[in-house]
Amino acid sequence: MIARYVISVGVVFMKYSPLDSKLLETIADLHGIPQGAFNIRKDGEGFRQSSANIEIIPKKDKPGIDIVVKPGTKDESVHIPVILTKSGLKDLVYNTFIIGEDADVTIIAGCGIHNSGEDVSEHDGIHEFFVKSGARLKYIERHYGQGDGTGRRVLNPTTIVTVENGAYVEMEMVQIKGVDNTVRNTDAFIHDRGALKIIERLLTHGEQEAVSNVTLNLLGLDASGQVLSRTVAQDNSNQLFKAALVGKNRCSGHVECDSIIMGAAQIRAIPGLTAESAEAVLTHEAAIGRIAGDQLIKLMTLGLDEQEAIDTILAAFLR
């Protein structure tokens, strides 16, 4: 199909193949042109549209965009998905998000890679967020890989978020499947009465490797932070999860890692707590285990075969 994008310099036409449409649907729930502001990047080229309250500005010194949300903006969303369909392409972007005071917005991001060749296809995204006082942000990022080629599909997201006084941020980071290698780095700086909740859901299979490094710096008075990770490692895949809470004031933080391990996979979970104030309350818990036999039996008595029962349990676990 042909999608028309109206931007400040005129009308841009972008052709969607069925492959493009499937990738965009998988990572961003897009079924056509999104409402409001958007930036869709395909194979290194972006197509965008701003709205009255959300401005998307291409960077002049490096690849990427600035997304500026006006103070007081309510109930608006921004779609910024990336798709790669060329084998051997390495894509690098630097995106900056400025969420104005008392705004309340949702940003839907993510990257889908289709690699049917022999060369590595890679997307590295460096995202920096400044969430101003009293603002609320929900950020959703989904990663997905597919293709029958031998070339690897690599995704390396870097996220830096500053949560100012009284702001609230929820970040949902999901790796659906098909990503051969990923290093996910997240650093957060949370000020007075600011709150950040990170939800990670990740699936690896085959020979895939995934590393997650998360550090929450609880700087302000009554700052709070949560990291909730649910992962599944299948076959010979390898996962490393490292989460650090640094409490520098009266604050609260919690890290929770819950993983299912299958086949010959390996999972390491390393939570770290550093209290630099006697009033910091920091907690962590981690659990790694296999699917319980009684769960399988119960589903199989309802008519599912073993693989269907496993798939049902994993889907519920990662929801």
51 and 75 Cβ atoms separated by less than 8 Å: no
225 and 195 Cβ atoms separated by less than 8 Å: yes
Question: Which residues does 39 contact at the CB level (< 8 Å), separation at least 6?
Answer: 46, 47, 48, 56, 65, 67, 78, 79, 80
> Are β-strands 65-69 and 54-58 bridged in parallel, bridged antiparallel, or unpaired?
antiparallel
Q: What is the SS3 assignment for 314? A: helix
Domain limits, the chain: 34-292
For tokens 């949370």, name the residue. Answer: 190
Question: Which residues does 211 contact at the CB level (< 8 Å), separation at least 6?
Answer: 182, 183, 184, 239, 240, 242
Rounded CA-CA distance 107/129 in Å is: 11
- pLDDT per residue as tens, the chain (319 positions): 334 443 333 334 456 788 999 999 999 998 877 888 999 999 988 889 999 999 999 999 999 999 999 999 999 999 999 999 999 999 999 999 999 999 999 999 999 999 999 999 999 999 999 999 999 999 999 999 999 989 999 999 999 999 999 999 999 999 989 999 999 999 999 999 999 999 999 999 999 999 999 999 999 999 999 999 999 999 999 999 999 999 999 999 999 999 999 999 999 999 899 999 999 999 999 899 888 777 777 767 777 788 887 787 778 777 7
Q: What is the SS3 assignment for 22? A: helix
Angle in degrees, CA 131, 134, 138, rounded to 5: 55
pLDDT in tens, 254-293: 999 999 999 999 999 998 999 999 999 999 998 998 887 7
For tokens 């939800």, name the residue. Answer: 199
**Helix/strand number for the chain, H first, E second:** 3, 22
- Entry field: residues in the chain: 319
Q: What are the backbone angles phi and psi of residue 70, rounded to the nearest 5°?
A: -65, 145
* pLDDT score recorded for residue 1: 36
Q: How far is CA 152 from the centre of its chain?
A: 20
* pLDDT score recorded for residue 14: 58
